[in-house]
């Protein structure tokens, strides 16, 4: 019987799980509990933090407008990135799902390729496009439209462009998985009952693709809100995001207690989002993408 | 008409995805001394300079060793956990599924800070070991997701046959199960290697001073100026991270087409 020991639990599965669970406990769960404690300690000149229960870091993080402003900027950038990803990503996902083109698998493979291309390379590649001596300026100069290079780099829009370029494949793939699972006869039924193509899309296809859209949006938002490399490479000096504050506090200022408090703010905010998503849609939608 | 628009839109989005990467590869062959437009002839000089750049070669070695060790450890943990998830029913299985992917539900920056501070507190300072532990925990969920998805396709009858013919559990695992799940193991290792090879977010927190991986080396070089050497390095990275997995996937496809399943 194939399912015989599916029902028999015993110690075996726990034995198999124990190495991974030990790793996750020691390298993730306990460290996160540890930085909760650490965020109540204080930085001292000697480098050894002063233990105890001090609210100073939290008071600073939660009341200083500097942190609040950067937090809002971060959420705004993450939101705009997600919206642009939806606008750019839905149509290609629809095309790949619905096309009768012979090389559909090839289109999908092309879509997966950017996953494999280094994030830092893809981010810095925009300098070659938008930079003072980049492709766009080279063309404009050559055509004689401008006399000197236009300054396009190192501002908030370029940070968003970089993030969209990095995250778009996640969005397209999630929407594609959802669209591909739709029973085509539902659309045919809608059409035969008198819907126009657009109505059938709006009433049938679009609602059925929402779980994929939601999964893609969650990934885009969470991943962009937690980034600090893109603003460092493509942003100007004032385009710091929240994770840049964490990096500054931990690596540059060596203020570990403050860095702990800052990272916990990020964890709680994004964690809330993931929890809400998990409550209403569930993680299995994201897991499908790997199938 | 509207289908024509959809197709054009799709093509434009693909151009948006690939043009910057294509430009990196194009510029890496530029003979021009600044490595920017206009193209002034075709040359391999930047690749030659790369080869003679000790810092870059060291970074490559570090990345390769780190990626390989990560792949082996992470896949071992991941395959065992996936076997438990796919083959057994046990209480709190749903909860365990979430726990196993927890490292990617936590923002990577937070994971990086927590691991760094906790291990530093235990006396393990920034080191290769810290980097390795960080990469293992960060790649584990990806391995679990990929391997689990593939394990569902492996049928159990062969193992049961072996067991009923008198093989013990270990013999069955090595003689029957392992060859059957080899493509899944291979896919997991490839995935873990590529993610580790590509990681910069956690790596910048965990790496000791003076040690660079390829991405952090590129990041450090970017801070000076964008030289054609960077584009050449990018081209090499693209070839490694694209050609390797794509040929890997092709191999897995070929392996899994054998009559074993």
> How far is the C-alpha of A210 from the C-alpha of A89, rounded, in Å?
13
Q: Indicate if the pLDDT at residue A35 is higher than 90.
A: yes
Q: Quickly state the pLDDT bin for A282 (edges 50, 70, 90).
A: confident
**pLDDT at B261 (0 to 100):** 40
**pLDDT at A85 (0 to 100):** 97
- Transcribe A72-111 into DSSP letters: HHHHHHHHHHHHHHHHHHHHHHHHHHH---TTHHHHHHHH
Which member of A89, A116, A135 has the closest CB to residue B37? A135
B40 reaches A (C-beta below 8 A): no
Here the tokens at position B249 are 């996937």
Do B97 and B184 belong to one domain?
A: yes
- State whether A91 and B10 contact (CB < 8 Å): yes
Angle A109-A110-A111 from CA coordinates, rounded to 5°: 90
Closest-approach residue (CA) in chain B for A121: B234
- State whether A27 and B90 contact (CB < 8 Å): no
| Cα–Cα nearest to B246, from A257, A189, A116, A249 | A116
B37: in domain: yes
B48: in domain: no
Do B99 and B142 belong to one domain?
A: yes
Do B33 and B62 belong to one domain?
A: no
Do B21 and B114 belong to one domain?
A: no
Do B182 and B243 belong to one domain?
A: yes
**pLDDT at A183 (0 to 100):** 85
B119 reaches A (C-beta below 8 A): yes
Shortest Cα distance from B184 to chain A (angstroms)? Answer: 12
ipTM: 0.89
Long-range contacts of residues A136-139, Cβ cutoff 8 Å, at least 24 apart: A137/B37, A138/B36, A138/B37, A138/B38
Do B18 and B59 belong to one domain?
A: no
- State whether A256 and B97 contact (CB < 8 Å): no
Do B31 and B117 belong to one domain?
A: no
CB environment A44-62: b (16+ within 10 A), e (fewer) = eeeeebeeeeeeebbeebe
| Cβ pair B217, B56 in contact under 8 A | yes
Do B207 and B239 belong to one domain?
A: yes
Which member of A9, A31, A122 has the closest CB to residue B115? A31
Q: Considering its fold, how many domains does chain B have in total?
A: 2
Angle B107-A210-A277 from CA coordinates, rounded to 5°: 35
B28: in domain: yes
Q: How many CB pairs under 8 A join A and B?
A: 264
Give residue-wise pLDDT tens across range B165-177. Answer: 988 888 888 888 8
B192: in domain: yes
Do B66 and B28 belong to one domain?
A: no
Q: Which domain holds residue B65?
A: 54-256
Do B182 and B214 belong to one domain?
A: yes
| Cβ pair B43, B52 in contact under 8 A | no
| Cβ pair B192, B75 in contact under 8 A | yes
- State whether A92 and B14 contact (CB < 8 Å): yes
Do B142 and B230 belong to one domain?
A: yes
> How far is the C-alpha of A169 from the C-alpha of A249, rounded, in Å?
32
B204 reaches A (C-beta below 8 A): yes
- State whether B17 and A126 contact (CB < 8 Å): no
Q: Quickly state the pLDDT bin for B125 (edges 50, 70, 90).
A: confident
Q: Indicate if the pLDDT at residue A142 is higher than 50.
A: yes
Is A39 in a helix, a strand, or coil? coil
- CATH number for domain A64-288, candidates 3.30.830.10, 3.90.1200.10, 3.30.70.100, 1.10.3720.10: 1.10.3720.10
Do B38 and B102 belong to one domain?
A: no
Domain of residue B201, CATH code: 1.10.3720.10
Q: Indicate if the pLDDT at residue A112 is higher than 90.
A: no
Mean local confidence (pLDDT), B92-102? 89
- Chain B residue numbers touching A259 (CB-CB < 8 A): 113, 117
From residue B156, how far is each of A13, A70, A290, B34, B159 by CA, in Å? 16, 53, 22, 60, 6
Q: Indicate if the pLDDT at residue B242 is higher than 60.
A: yes
């Amino acid at each position: 019987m194939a399912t015989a020991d599916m029902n028999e639990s015993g110690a075996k599965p726990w034995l198999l799980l124990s190495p991974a669970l030990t790793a996750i406990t020691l390298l993730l769960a306990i460290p996160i509990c540890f930085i909760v404690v650490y965020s109540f300690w204080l930085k001292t000149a000697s480098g050894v933090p002063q233990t105890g229960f001090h609210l100073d870091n939290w008071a600073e993080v939660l009341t200083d407008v500097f942190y609040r402003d950067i937090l809002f900027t971060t959420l705004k950038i993450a939101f705009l990135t997600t919206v642009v990803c939806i606008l750019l990503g839905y149509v290609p996902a629809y095309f790949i799902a619905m096309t009768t083109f012979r090389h559909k698998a090839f289109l999908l493979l092309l879509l997966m390729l950017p996953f494999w291309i280094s994030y830092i390379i893809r981010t810095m590649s925009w300098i070659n496009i938008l930079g003072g001596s980049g492709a766009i300026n080279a063309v404009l100069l050559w055509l004689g439209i401008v006399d000197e290079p236009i300054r396009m780099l190192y501002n908030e829009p370029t940070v968003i462009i970089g993030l969209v370029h990095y995250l778009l494949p996640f969005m397209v793939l999630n929407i594609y998985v959802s669209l591909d699972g739709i029973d085509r006869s539902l659309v045919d039924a809608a059409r035969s009952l008198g819907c126009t193509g657009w109505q059938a899309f709006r009433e049938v296809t679009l609602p059925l693709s929402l779980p994929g859209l939601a999964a893609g949006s969650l990934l885009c938002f969470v991943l962009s809100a937690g980034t600090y490399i893109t603003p460092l490479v493509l942003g100007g000096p004032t385009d710091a995001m929240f994770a840049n504050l964490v990096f500054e506090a931990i690596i540059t200022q060596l203020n570990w207690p403050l860095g702990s408090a800052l990272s916990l703010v990020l964890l709680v905010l994004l964690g809330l989002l993931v929890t809400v998503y998990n409550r209403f849609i569930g993680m299995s939608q994201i897991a499908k993408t790997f199938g | 008409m509207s289908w024509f628009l959809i197709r054009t839109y799709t093509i434009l989005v693909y151009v948006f995805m690939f043009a910057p990467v294509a430009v990196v590869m194009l510029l890496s062959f530029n003979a021009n001394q600044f490595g920017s437009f206009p193209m002034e002839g075709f040359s391999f000089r930047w690749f030659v300079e790369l080869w003679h750049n000790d810092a870059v070669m060291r970074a490559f070695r570090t990345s390769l060793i780190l990626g390989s060790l990560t792949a082996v450890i992470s896949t071992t943990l991941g395959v065992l956990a996936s076997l438990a998830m796919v083959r057994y029913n046990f209480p709190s299985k749903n909860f365990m599924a979430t726990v196993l992917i927890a490292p990617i539900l936590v923002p990577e920056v937070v994971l990086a800070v927590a691991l760094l501070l906790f291990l530093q507190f235990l006396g393990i300072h920034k080191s290769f070991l810290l980097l390795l532990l960080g990469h293992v925990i960060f790649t584990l969920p990806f391995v679990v997701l990929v391997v689990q998805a593939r394990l569902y396709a492996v049928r159990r009858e062969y193992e049961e046959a072996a067991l009923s013919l008198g093989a013990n559990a270990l013999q069955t695992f090595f003689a029957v199960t392992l060859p059957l799940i080899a493509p899944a193991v291979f896919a997991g290792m490839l995935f873990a290697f590529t993610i580790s090879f590509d990681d910069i977010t956690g790596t910048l927190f965990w790496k000791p001073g003076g040690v660079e991986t390829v991405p952090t080396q590129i990041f450090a070089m970017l801070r000076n100026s964008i030289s054609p050497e960077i584009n050449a390095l990018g081209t090499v990275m693209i070839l490694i991270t694209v050609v390797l997995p794509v040929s890997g996937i092709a191999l897995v496809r070929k392996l899994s087409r054998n009559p074993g399943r």
